[in-house]
Amino acid sequence: MNQQSSNAQASVILTGDRPTGPLHLGHFVGSLRNRVTYQDQYRQYIMLADAQALTDNMDDIGKVHRNVVEVALDYLAVGIDPAKSTILIQSQIPELAELTFYYLNLVTVSRLERNPTVKQEIVLRGFERDIPAGFLVYPASQAADITAFKASIVPVGEDQIPMIEQCNEIVRRFNRDAGRDILVECKAIVPEVGRLPGIDGKAKMSKSLGNTINLGASADEIRAAVKQVYTDPLHLKVSDPGHIEGNVAFTYLDAFDTDKAALAEMKAHYQRGGLGDSVVKKRLEGILQELIGPIRERREELAKDKGEVLRILKEGTFKAREVAAQTMDEVRKALGLSYF
Amino acid sequence: MNQQSSNAQASVILTGDRPTGPLHLGHFVGSLRNRVTYQDQYRQYIMLADAQALTDNMDDIGKVHRNVVEVALDYLAVGIDPAKSTILIQSQIPELAELTFYYLNLVTVSRLERNPTVKQEIVLRGFERDIPAGFLVYPASQAADITAFKASIVPVGEDQIPMIEQCNEIVRRFNRDAGRDILVECKAIVPEVGRLPGIDGKAKMSKSLGNTINLGASADEIRAAVKQVYTDPLHLKVSDPGHIEGNVAFTYLDAFDTDKAALAEMKAHYQRGGLGDSVVKKRLEGILQELIGPIRERREELAKDKGEVLRILKEGTFKAREVAAQTMDEVRKALGLSYF
């Protein structure tokens, strides 16, 4: 237990996901696993960013709704404890939209267009000139989410750091205009273990690329996925020396195998030749079955009572809304928009 | 009494002002006068657009707040009756910001940049590349204001027609995505009497140009203003023929003199020569003193009890919020953002 947890005024951390599909091993490594640790150290808010997910899913209304409970099941199944973490649904806290509305006055169009994350995402999503305004302004929306809860820590991927910088610019501009420190600046923390590659060897495990292993995967699905895992295409015969770099089987073992000595031994053997992919994959499959099996079982158990999941989400959202409403109230007063 | 007023389902009209300063004769001619008529014909919502006024007044927090009650006093003084019209404060209805947030997904950045009203205002306000995002997206905010109350009629100046077109594009896009008609399209009505020129002859009477006659002007202020009213610079001697076109004294008489026969006679006399500006201005002053005097007196009376004005605003805002919340609820459901 570190200093924060012994402190009544624990630091606030905000994290979350766009509920557009089931979560997978990439989420587990990049964030979920850390959240289970963070919830003992910080006051943790985990946001189901359904409103933000809509910015580029307006053509499939219903998809976001369906996935809110699914992602919540993933959270609970991996060990996020609603008694320690506050899980909230973004759209059910209107103050987040309201804060966004006011923050839009604190940021210029050209500044948003210069945001590297926004620029990159515009290319990724193929928007080009047809960028929905809601997408361009999402740094302001993200600033609203962070500041509503006065979060001082935000875990993000390397590529999201410019979003945090822009959030802090909004915070400083607001506090300067208001003449006092109402909003709190935040710090990005980038997880040590970076992005998990897809089973096909592509840099990112992603639902849209179809190269994931989901947290709800069945034993057969795990087996089939491991069979497809990209290894060393030059490693044709068992006796050939094999490569570790770019070999997804070993990348996954690095991420999940807790017996580091045995893994080092296996890597050396593979590199000098005489170790077949099937042996490596067998070890990997065993580890993934052991990791995902209990998650899947808890998930199936929890899924039997979706009413209970909704109750948890309602309670978390209600609790979070009280905090956001308090911030909104301070912001409204600072803007001179308080009358009655 | 026309058809609408005899209809229980009277058409809804939305109108309002940015509360950045006292209202003047330009407002009286262009909108206030009409609202007094409209309130007997339509379900009229009059919005004090304080949140929108902030988009370019973030450097002077407090100015907007101060002017909310001042503008409300102007409303009440000219005869807007809170029993017939619902007067509301924009910022106190968070659903308006929330609707804006979602409408941003329905409009592209390039479409906003092409909006002629936005383009013109960007030049007028000298924003150029430093456009606050809140300013670029204000057509979405205006669409939120209009649609929240399901207004089907919006009185606007000629230059604001592109805003109404953009609002209707958002409405159609939303209804199409939702698969049913939830939002209502609106129609712009442009008042017959256009813009009143400033006393200096500039095209627009405007606080920032310092060429106004305010609705709260004292008798002395009215007298002094009329003395400055721009007439015909070529009309040097009383005996000279004078020009009517561009002669602000006659433009004002056209707007306020109810004795059209006497006015026609005066114009003819002025044009053929032999009528001095002082005679014309004397008539104008008399008419303006008669028009503004009672407004000023009612205004002074009402200003004695600002608590009562705030009570009226609170009641109107509360009533309006119920309607906006109902619309927001329908919108949230249509977007699949309803869970509990």
In this predicted complex, what is the ipTM?
A: 0.91
> Is A336 in contact with B131 (Cβ distance < 8 A)?
no
Q: Which residues of A touch B128 (CB under 8 A)?
A: none
pLDDT in single tens digits along all 340 residues of chain A: 344 444 456 899 999 999 999 999 999 998 999 999 999 999 999 999 999 998 888 778 889 999 999 999 999 999 999 999 999 999 999 999 999 999 999 999 999 988 888 888 888 777 776 889 999 999 999 999 999 999 999 999 888 899 999 999 999 999 998 999 999 999 999 987 768 999 999 988 988 889 999 999 999 999 999 999 999 999 999 999 999 999 999 999 999 999 999 999 999 999 999 999 999 999 999 999 999 999 999 999 999 999 999 999 999 999 999 999 999 999 999 999 999 9
Quote the pTM value: 0.92
Residue of A nearest to B127 (CA): A108
- Encode A88-112 in three state secondary structure: EEHHHCHHHHHHHHHHHHHCEHHHH
Indicate the burial class of B79 (C-beta count within 10 angstroms; 0-12, 13-18, 19 or more).
middle
Would you say B48 and B87 are in contact if contact means Cβ atoms under 8 Å apart? yes
pLDDT in single tens digits along all 340 residues of chain B: 344 444 456 799 999 999 999 999 999 998 999 999 999 999 999 999 999 998 888 778 889 999 999 999 999 999 999 999 999 999 999 999 999 999 999 999 999 988 888 888 888 777 776 889 999 999 999 999 999 999 999 999 888 899 999 999 999 999 998 999 999 999 999 987 768 999 999 988 988 889 999 999 999 999 999 999 999 999 999 999 999 999 999 999 999 999 999 999 999 999 999 999 999 999 999 999 999 999 999 999 999 999 999 999 999 999 999 999 999 999 999 999 999 9
**How confident is the model at residue B118, as a pLDDT?**
85
User: Which 8-state DSSP code applies to residue B207?
Assistant: G
**How confident is the model at residue B39, as a pLDDT?**
97
Q: Rounded to whole angstroms, how far apart are CA atoms A214 and A240? A: 33
Chains A and B form CB pairs within 8 A to the count of: 170
**How confident is the model at residue A9, as a pLDDT?**
66
> Is B105 in contact with A64 (Cβ distance < 8 A)?
no
> Is B136 in contact with A50 (Cβ distance < 8 A)?
no
Query: Which of helix, strand or coil describes residue A17?
Result: strand
**How confident is the model at residue A172, as a pLDDT?**
97
Domain B3-196+306-334 belongs in CATH node 1.10.3720.10: no
**How confident is the model at residue A3, as a pLDDT?**
42
Q: Rounded to whole angstroms, how far apart are CA atoms A220 and B250? A: 89
Q: Are strands A153-155 and B43-48 parallel, antiparallel or unpaired?
A: unpaired
> Is B335 in contact with A131 (Cβ distance < 8 A)?
no
| Chain length of chain A | 340
Residue of B nearest to A178 (CA): B61
User: Which 8-state DSSP code applies to residue A195?
Assistant: P
Tell me the shortest Cα–Cα distance from A314 to chain B, in angstroms.
Answer: 7
Residue from the list A98, A105, A131 with its beta carbon closest to the beta carbon of B134: A105
Residue of A nearest to B63 (CA): A336
Residues contacting residue A47 through CB under 8 Å, at least 6 positions apart:
A14, A15, A16, A17, A88, A89, A90, A145
Residue from the list A92, A109, A131 with its beta carbon closest to the beta carbon of B339: A92
Would you say A22 and A51 are in contact if contact means Cβ atoms under 8 Å apart? no
Residue from the list A61, A100, A135 with its beta carbon closest to the beta carbon of B336: A61
> Is B101 in contact with A141 (Cβ distance < 8 A)?
yes
Q: Which residues of B touch A61 (CB under 8 A)?
A: 177-178, 334-336
Residue of A nearest to B174 (CA): A58
Partnered with residue A17 across adjacent β-strands are A48
Tell me the shortest Cα–Cα distance from A21 to chain B, in angstroms.
Answer: 15
DSSP H or E run through B45: strand B43-48
Residues contacting residue B178 through CB under 8 Å, at least 6 positions apart:
A61, B334, B335
Q: Is A126 left (phi over 0), alpha (psi -120 to 50) or beta?
A: left
> Is B133 in contact with A59 (Cβ distance < 8 A)?
no
Residue from the list B58, B65, B338 with its beta carbon closest to the beta carbon of A105: B58
- How many angstroms separate the Cα of A18 from the Cα of each of A71, A193, B240? 9, 21, 77
For chain B, which residues make up each domain, given as ranges? 3-196+306-334, 216-301
Residues contacting residue A307 through CB under 8 Å, at least 6 positions apart:
none
Q: Which residues of A touch B97 (CB under 8 A)?
A: 94, 97-98, 100-102
Query: Which of helix, strand or coil describes residue B334?
Result: helix
Residue from the list A54, A91, A104 with its beta carbon closest to the beta carbon of B105: A54
Q: Which residues of B touch A58 (CB under 8 A)?
A: 105-106, 177
> Is B64 in contact with A337 (Cβ distance < 8 A)?
yes
Q: Which residues of A touch B104 (CB under 8 A)?
A: 55, 132-134, 137
Same CATH fold, B216-301 and B3-196+306-334?
A: no
CATH code, B216-301: 1.10.240.10
Tell me the shortest Cα–Cα distance from A151 to chain B, in angstroms.
Answer: 22
Q: Rounded to whole angstroms, how far apart are CA atoms B126 and B116? A: 15
Q: Are strands B12-17 and B43-48 parallel, antiparallel or unpaired?
A: parallel
Residue of A nearest to B106 (CA): A132
Q: Which residues of A touch B51 (CB under 8 A)?
A: 101-102, 337
Residues contacting residue A66 through CB under 8 Å, at least 6 positions apart:
none
Tell me the shortest Cα–Cα distance from A57 to chain B, in angstroms.
Answer: 9
